Amino acid sequence: MAKTQDWQSSVAGKSVLLTGASRGIGAATARLFAKAGAKLGLAGRPSDALHQLAKEIGAPVIPCDVADYAQVVAAVQAMVAAHGGLDVLINNAGVIDPIAPLAQADPDAWSRQIDVNLKGVFYGMRAALPVMQGAGRGTILTIGSGAAYNPLEGWSGYCASKAGAVMLTHTAHREAGQTVRILSLSPGTVATDMQRVIKTSGINPVSKLEWSDHVPPEWPAQALLWMCSPESDAYRGKEVSLREPGIRQTLGLTA
């Protein structure tokens, strides 16, 4: 595991809003950030898993569907009310369904995927940026994907939404200038429930990967912690890739 002590000061005592925290990368990130002393808010649609995690780490659940702008604004304002501001927003919520050829994809499910994976990122940025710009500081991190750059059969909505989310990072960085730190993370394939769904689909090469081919969710969690620190400033407006050996070396991660 990576050594986190050099990065803890970047989130200790900071107000951090995390979406999609109930499992996978989100749950691993919540545990790591709580250990690092962050004042977390777990934003998501209430579930047993989310409430159990909240109880485990002592963080509040903030009911929020990221596809609803009003709910995202309310989540940001809840953090401001509780902590006097918002220091970090992590846009982690995302869905892989529908996995289907474009000509067969359910239009409603495809639209929902865009609502969560793309519009949800925009809503988060739109709600958080005025607060952070007003305070003169802040960090916005978004979970990206290699699917943003590589078309994959059956993933039209996922690839399109992730490509759009990367462009939102680029654009927001240009607009925010030096006031707000805005970065994206491409974690590679991660051993989460999403990979089980992908495996079951049997569509495209990713479904052929074995469980051992995926990195543990603690790896992207470590990367997100590092991305909250000035050490990652060279990547502002860009995407950090966990596929890069240099990044893994920086984070102290080994295969």
- Residue 167: the pLDDT is 97
Q: Known catalytic residue: 149? A: no
Rounded to two decimals, the pTM is 0.94
Q: Which CATH class is domain 8-251?
A: alpha beta
User: DSSP for 53-68?
Assistant: HHHHHT--EEE--TT-
Please state the domain extents for the chain. 8-251
Measured CA to CA, the distance from residue 54 to residue 31 in angstroms comes to 10
pLDDT averages per 10-residue partition of the chain, 255 residues: 58 96 94 96 93 96 97 98 97 94 96 97 98 97 94 95 97 92 93 85 87 89 96 95 92 79
Residues β-bridged to residue 88: 16, 139
Asked if residues 13 and 31 have their Cβ atoms less than 8 Å apart, the reply is no
- Residue 4: the pLDDT is 46
Q: How many other C-beta atoms are found inside a 10 Å radius of the C-beta of residue 197?
A: 14
The one catalytic residue in 69, 123, 158, 235 is 158
